[in-house]
Structures are given as C-alpha cells and as structure tokens.
Structure 1
Amino acid sequence: MKVTAIIEDELIEELVRESGAKNITEGLRIAIKEYLSKKKIRDFSEQMVAEPLEFEYGAAYLREQNRK
C-alpha cells in the first residue's frame, strides 16, 4: 500500500538511524510492527489485570498428583 504522510524530516531521520533501517519504508515498517507488538502486550496485560487467571488447584494438589 502506498501512503502519503507529512512527517518532520528530523523524526524520519532519527527513526531510520535508530532502527538501523536501510531506508524510510523499512524504518516505518519496523516502527509500526514494534508499536503493534507493544500494544498487544499492553492490551493483554490490561486484560489479565481485569480478569486474572484462576487455577482450580494449587501446588500442594500438584505435588500429591505427582507422587501417585
């Protein structure tokens, strides 16, 4: 997909430099993937806070099962 965007030159130059990208397109691709990855982790973390995992049994039960 082709996109036209107005972004400050300094910001693009820093992105390409810091990401180690070969060009602007690669730098933007890296930045977008990193942003989406962090967002998924943040969303999952918020979900775990709102709805924590609940286990039906604890360590004592598992130890007993392993001894059988």
Structure 2
Amino acid sequence: MKVTALIPDKLIEEVQKTSGGKNITESLIIALQHYVSSKKIYDVLDEIDREPLVFREDFTAYGIRKVNRNR
C-alpha cells in the first residue's frame, strides 16, 4: 500500500539507524513489525495481570517430568 505521511527527518534517520533497513521503506516495515509484536506481548501481559495464571493444586515439577518422559 502506498502511504503519504509527514514524518520528521530526525525520526526517519533514527529508525533507519536502529532498524538496519536498506532504505526508508524497509526500515519502516521493520519498525512497524517490531511495534506490532511488542504491542501484542504487552496486551498478553496486561491480560495476565488482570487474570493471573492459576495452577492446579496437584501440579508439581515431578508430575510434569513424569508426563513428559512417558511421551
């Protein structure tokens, strides 16, 4: 998709340096992919913060090892 955007030159330069992209387009793609990945991680962390993981009472490391060894 073609997009016209007014982005400060300093920010573009910083994105290019940090992302290691060959050109502005590649640098922006790398930066946007990283942003989306980070956002998804933070969303999951927020969800876990709202509803923490709860393990069963009979959950033990020994029990899990036994299950994994029997596979």
Q: Secondary structure at the match of 1:21?
A: coil
Looking at structure 2, the residues matched to 41 and 7 of structure 1 have their Cα atoms a distance apart, in angstroms, of 26
Looking at structure 2, the residues matched to 60 and 31 of structure 1 have their Cα atoms a distance apart, in angstroms, of 39
Aligned sequence identity (%): 51
TM-score by length of 1: 0.81
Letter in 1 for 2:60: A
Gaps of 5+ in 2: none
Looking at structure 2, the residues matched to 60 and 9 of structure 1 have their Cα atoms a distance apart, in angstroms, of 53
Q: Which structure 1 residue ranges, 4+ long, deviate > 4 Å from structure 2?
A: none
Gaps of 5+ in 1: none
Partner residue in 2 for 1:58 = 59
TM-score by length of 2: 0.78
